[in-house]
A = this chain, B = another copy of it.
């Protein structure tokens, strides 16, 4: 697994090495191929990456993400540029690795354009954990979905998870032969990205997101504009060239969400709803508003007490 450290906050987060696309366990597959992939990760890719990262030294995850945002990644549904930057950085260390199966590892890494995703998620989780230390704040520090329920939470050592049914994933592109009828509701831990200025927050700069939400960059920019209307900050490093060189919106304020009735949009993959066949498409899920209302009411009750 990856380990991300945020020394300023005394925070350490963890995430599995991304399994990539296709026949993989993280998409709900339990096939021989999916198990083989996990074994490859355990026996080959993990050890090779460990050797390379030890030799390379710590990687500044969000610095790579920032460069990738200017290269069309939203760093959620699209992590092609960030993955390439990561592999380019690690190249000398990977070439230096002495593991007997290093070529197998390199072949997997070279073909896994989703590699950066879980790493970005762990880095985002480190940041929201840091923000979570500011008790009494109205900034949203958690969003997660498990295909059945959606949860959001605010700061604090043991925050209440405010929940509602997971939303459908709309504005979707499906794989050939797949449709809404196959789609599970919104699922995954990756919505943490939208809380730190990535994912939907960077939609304006991502041609890949544009393909999902209507085909033009203007359609994609609507997602960023929408989130911008309920955040209180702009990222100082996730600069979107085609959005007037502005920083992506960060710090979702639960007060603004409730006042404006606008919840974060999450750019995300879609899994099959029942047959375990894995990913069937990608699209945009709009968080339900009820948990945000509940969170605000609880915050106001706490602050008033």
Contact of A217 among B94, B105, B241 (CB under 8 A): B241
A16 within 8 A of B: no
Report whether over half of chain A's contact residues are helix, strand or loop; otherwise say mixed. helix
Minimum CB distance partner of A89 in chain B: B110
Q: How often does this chain occur in the complex, in copies?
A: 2
A–B pairs, 7, beta carbons within 8 Å = A72-B241, A81-B84, A88-B88, A92-B103, A92-B107, A95-B105, A210-B241
Query: Whole-angstrom distance between the alpha carbons of A72 and B71 in the complex?
Result: 5
Minimum CB distance partner of A85 in chain B: B84
- Min CB distance A289 to B, Å, is 32
A216 within 8 A of B: yes
**A positions within 8 Å CB-CB of B:** 70-72, 80-81, 83-85, 87-89, 91-92, 94-97, 102-103, 105-107, 109-110, 207, 210, 215-217, 241-242, 244-245
Residues B81 and A110 in contact, CB atoms below 8 Å apart: no
Task: Give the residues in chain B near A210, CB-CB below 8 Å.
Answer: 241
Known contacts A70-B72, A72-B72; A110/B88 CB under 8 A: yes
Known contacts A87-B87, A241-B207; A95/B94 CB under 8 A: yes
Task: Give the residues in chain B near A70, CB-CB below 8 Å.
Answer: 72, 207
Known contacts A94-B91, A95-B95, A102-B95; A242/B245 CB under 8 A: no
Residues A106 and B87 in contact, CB atoms below 8 Å apart: no
Task: Give the residues in chain B near A106, CB-CB below 8 Å.
Answer: 91-92, 94-96
Minimum CB distance partner of A67 in chain B: B80
- Min CB distance A207 to B, Å, is 4
Task: Give the residues in chain B near A94, CB-CB below 8 Å.
Answer: 91, 94-95, 106
Max count, chain B CB within 10 A of own CB: residue among A89, A92, A95, A107: A95
Query: Whole-angstrom distance between the alpha carbons of A83 and B67 in the complex?
Result: 14
Residues B96 and A103 in contact, CB atoms below 8 Å apart: yes
